[in-house]
Amino acid sequence: MDYLIRHNDTPIGTMIEPGADHPMGIVQGRFVPLAAYEGVRAVFRRLTEVRLAAHAEDSTGALKQAWEEIEALRLTVTTADGRLIPTTSVHVEDYVEELGDDGSEGIFVAPTDPIFRPEGNFFLDTRYWDGPGYWAEEDRASPQTPDP
């Protein structure tokens, strides 16, 4: 399932073929920008530039400021059919200048939330997630109990 990342309810890009870290609630996938992305791209590039410079200097303050700018955007995520996904964090990793057109990734965190059925887990609700199940196929032979 693909997702739209939105700023002020305007789609800025599409996350395609996402993967996930189920226990952490993290979803990430290739980010394909739409025209509106150019209006906010500088915010994500600032994070990239701070990270690239981090090895050369103490960038704690700059990194904090970059994350605050991203949080101030109040990004949202929806399914392609418009279902809003509760998230605790949404951002874009923009390394296009360094890696080319495939150098962007959208990332969001979907916490446990009663909107997701069953049991409040994003990855168990097929209205929101159609990727691999909570456990990968190879893990189903020896099921584990997920942490509450």
Q: Would you state the pLDDT for residue 133? A: 64
Low-confidence ranges of the chain (pLDDT < 70): 54-59, 133-148
Stated pTM of the model? 0.84
Q: What's the rounded Cα separation, in Å, for the pair 48 and 42?
A: 10
Q: Would you state the pLDDT for residue 135? A: 52
pLDDT digits (tens, 9 = 90+) for 4-33: 999 999 999 999 999 998 888 999 999 999
Q: What CA–CA distances, in Å, run from 141 to 8, 125, 138, 144?
A: 44, 22, 6, 10
Q: Would you state the pLDDT for residue 134? A: 58
